Amino acid sequence: MNNYLPEPLFFIIYSYVGHNSLYLNKSYYKLLRDRRKEFIEKPLKISYRLCKWREKHFDIENNYSRKARPSMKVESENIIDISGGRIFGEIDDTGVLCQFTKKFEDSLIPVSICNQTVYPFPYRVVYYWTLFSLKCSKIERYKRYQDLWVV
């Protein structure tokens, strides 16, 4: 492969410019595709925990004016496999992901549920989830993944 730049220098340029850096030489596309194949064959594993919220709204004189304090329950840890193309955010030195994207957060969180009852007195219960924690145990592998998929 006839490359004009060493591989580490190309990936530094690629992290800033994205796919426009492939205009330097077409052979870099094959290099990029070969590096991405590692994550397609053996996906990156990210563990996350959801926080389930339960909130009651009481109906007083046909107006949902009284709201009880919400209760919170942290659910057990789940694991998601990321094979490629998803961008989710920054990672710190301990492996905790922070500043994740809203699109990635929406793909993990289930749809909210609302239950209404009339007897003995009208009230509704709303269940919704938020992201409690997001971790990756292999920090170096995550950083390689982040370098290969640039928005």
**Domain range for 23:** 1-42
Residue 78 lies in a domain: yes
Residue 137 lies in a domain: yes
Question: Could you write out the three-class secondary structure of the chain?
Answer: CCCCCCHHHHHHHHHHHHHHHHHCCCHHHHHHHHHHHHHHHCCEEEEEEEEEEEEEEECCCCCCCEECCCEEEECCCEEEEECCCCCCCEECCCCEEECCCHHHHHHHCCCCEEEEECCCCCEEEEEEEEEEEEECCCHHHHHHHHHHCCC
Residue 113 lies in a domain: yes
Residue 149 lies in a domain: no
* Same domain assignment for residues 98 and 60: yes
* Same domain assignment for residues 72 and 32: no
Residue 10 lies in a domain: yes
d(CA 46, CA 52): 19
* Same domain assignment for residues 24 and 96: no
* Same domain assignment for residues 91 and 63: yes
Tell the burial category of 135 from Cβ atoms under 10 Å away from its Cβ (0-12, 13-18, 19+). Answer: middle
pLDDT tens digits, one per residue of 93-142:
888 888 777 888 888 899 999 988 877 777 888 999 999 988 888 888 88
According to the model, what pLDDT value does residue 40 have?
87
pTM for this entry:
0.76
According to the model, what pLDDT value does residue 137 have?
86
pLDDT tens digits, one per residue of 24-74:
788 888 888 888 888 889 988 989 999 999 998 877 666 656 677 889 999
* Same domain assignment for residues 126 and 54: yes
According to the model, what pLDDT value does residue 73 have?
95
* Same domain assignment for residues 56 and 38: no
* Same domain assignment for residues 9 and 66: no
According to the model, what pLDDT value does residue 128 have?
94
* Same domain assignment for residues 63 and 100: yes
Residue 14 lies in a domain: yes
* Same domain assignment for residues 51 and 96: yes
* Same domain assignment for residues 29 and 84: no
d(CA 29, CA 40): 16
Residue 20 lies in a domain: yes
d(CA 102, CA 81): 18
- Total number of domains constituting the chain: 2
* Same domain assignment for residues 86 and 50: yes
Residue 87 lies in a domain: yes
